[in-house]
């Protein structure tokens, strides 16, 4: 095998791996966007000094999803899935299955969002106390890290489940679409 044939043989698997990674990135972005509201811990009562409130970030110009009722959240997830998968020739059944997977993840993460908000309020109370309880604040930090780990694990599960709904060709198209939208050097 000459050098030209060797480089062609190694380029194909590398390109395929890149395409798979990009497809997973695209699906990940979709999954994260769908669950973003549930992890958007800055919504509602988390806007110190007006930053991030109405008209800014979550809950403002971009709509936010932090405190949406389940029906509105469901519609929002369906719209995001339809948008993200618009140009990759998915069937309505595939789109519905992916939306169902992401809605399940969003529902699972709703409880952790509430726990996060409660811990955040407790942290603020502890920091405003006359004496700082470092041990309790550290305990809250560890709990928050575990909640983040659990949320990350749940989102990865949704990402992998969503990726399995698509064919390898569709994942490659999705990866290509996201690659075109990435900034140079990204």
Phi, psi angle pair for 129, to nearest 5°: -70, 155
Query: Mean pLDDT, to the nearest integer, of 79-96?
Result: 92
Query: Mean pLDDT, to the nearest integer, of 28-56?
Result: 40
- What is the torsional sign of CA 178, 179, 185, 186? positive
pLDDT category of residue 54 using cuts at 50, 70 and 90: very low
User: What is the per-residue pLDDT for 168?
Assistant: 95
In this structure, are residues 40 and 58 in contact, taking their beta carbons and an 8 Å threshold? yes
* Residue of higher predicted confidence among 16 and 162: 162
pLDDT category of residue 157 using cuts at 50, 70 and 90: very high
Of 83, 110, 81, residue with least CA distance to 96: 81
- Any idea which of 1-5, 66-70, 131-135, 182-186 has the lowest mean pLDDT? 1-5
In this structure, are residues 42 and 57 in contact, taking their beta carbons and an 8 Å threshold? yes
Domain ranges of the chain: 3-181
Q: What DSSP string describes 82-128?
A: HHHTTTTT--HHHHHHHHHHHHHHHHHHHHHHHHHHHHHHHHHHHHH
Of 71, 68, 76, residue with least CA distance to 34: 76
pLDDT category of residue 175 using cuts at 50, 70 and 90: confident
């Amino acid at each position: 095998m000459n050098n030209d044939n060797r480089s062609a043989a190694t380029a194909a698997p590398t390109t395929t791996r890149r395409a798979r990674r990009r497809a997973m990135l695209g699906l990940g972005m979709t999954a994260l966007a769908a669950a973003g509201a549930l992890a958007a811990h800055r919504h509602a009562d988390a806007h110190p000094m007006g930053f991030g409130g109405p008209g800014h970030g979550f809950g403002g110009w971009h709509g936010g999803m932090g405190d949406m009722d389940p029906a509105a959240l469901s519609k929002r997830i369906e719209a995001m899935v339809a948008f993200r998968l618009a140009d990759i020739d998915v069937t309505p059944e595939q789109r519905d299955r992916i939306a169902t997977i992401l809605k399940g993840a969003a529902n699972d993460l709703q409880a952790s969002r509430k726990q996060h908000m409660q811990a955040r309020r407790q942290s603020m109370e502890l920091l405003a106390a006359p004496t700082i309880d470092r041990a309790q604040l550290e305990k809250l930090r560890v709990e928050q890290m575990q909640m983040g780990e659990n949320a990350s694990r749940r989102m990865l599960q949704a990402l992998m489940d969503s990726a399995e709904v698509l064919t390898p060709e569709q994942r490659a198209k999705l990866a290509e679409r996201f690659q075109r939208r990435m900034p140079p050097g990204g």
